[in-house]
Amino acid sequence: MVDARSDKAFPVSWDQFHRDARALTWRLSGDQKWQAIVCVTRGGLVPAAIVARELGIRMIETICVASYQNYKEQGELKVLKPVSQEIVDLGGGEGAGVLVIDDLVDTGRTARLVREMLPKAHYATLYSKPMGRPLVDTFITEVSQDTWIYFPWDMGLTFQPPIVG
Ligand SMILES: O=P(O)(O)OC[C@H]1O[C@H](OP(=O)(O)OP(=O)(O)O)[C@H](O)[C@@H]1O
Ligand code: HPA
Ligand SMILES: [Mg+2]
């Protein structure tokens, strides 16, 4: 489980995730009226649902990318479905007025690719690591590069042996 990339664990409960998603929404709820949310699947689906509910946004698009296989190993970045031209053209083009939501930025490779498609969009994540941070406009919590974030949908309740005994 421990490797050079991530020897610390940052487990996030459903409660914490929900609180962080609401905190992100507060930061995004200023004067700007978002025309649409683009969520980066699959990790962006859950935060996007919460943010969309809080901001009253019903225009929601996906961009489907995959890169991490076998957990923690990043492979080739694959775009399985790009964002539609209709969404790119909103607000005058290049994604202006569009809010991109993902669960986190790590190396920033995913964010860089999405930004090429939507250069004027606002990129928001719940969590960030130092390498990806320059690519995000708004985020809630930063963890170190060698930390692995465990999302609630990837975990379950397990018995913990007593500390003594
Ligand atoms: O900054 P990066 O190093 O590119 O990593 C961040 C991306 O990695 C994860 O997605 P993943 O490709 O594992 O797919 P998933 O969302 O379907 O889990 C995460 O949800 C981000 O989208
Ligand atoms: O720290 C992480 N946790 C879960 N998925 C990820 N994908 C890239 N980095 C991470
Ligand atoms: Mg993802």
Among the bound ligands, the one closest to the CA of 42:
1
**Residue 30 identity (one-letter amino acid):** G
Measured in Å, residue 41 CA sits from the centre of ligand 3 at 5
Report the phi/psi class of residue 134: left, alpha or beta, with left for phi > 0 and alpha for psi in -120 to 50.
alpha
Q: 123 by DSSP, 3-state: which?
A: strand
In a domain, 1, yes or no: no
Query: pTM, whole model, 2 decimals?
Result: 0.93
In a domain, 162, yes or no: no
In a domain, 163, yes or no: no
Among the bound ligands, the one closest to the CA of 132:
1
Instruction: For residue range 95-129, list pLDDT tens digits in order.
Output: 999 999 999 999 999 999 999 999 999 999 999 99
Nearest to 14 by CA among 148, 124, 155, 149: 155
In a domain, 161, yes or no: no
DSSP structure class, residue 3: B
CATH number of the domain bearing residue 101:
3.40.50.2020
CB atoms closer than 10 angstroms to residue 35: 17
Pocket test for ligand 2, best of 6, 70, 74, 106 (most atoms within 8 A of CB): 106
Nearest to 14 by CA among 155, 160, 152: 152
Give the count of domains, the chain.
1
Domain that holds residue 81: 8-154
ipTM value: 0.99
User: Is 149 annotated among the ligand-binding residues?
Assistant: yes
In a domain, 16, yes or no: yes
Please list all protein residues whose beta carbon sits less than 5 angstroms from ligand 3, which is an ion. 43
Measured in Å, residue 135 CA sits from the centre of ligand 3 at 15
Which helix (H) or strand (E) segment holds residue 114: the answer is helix 109-117
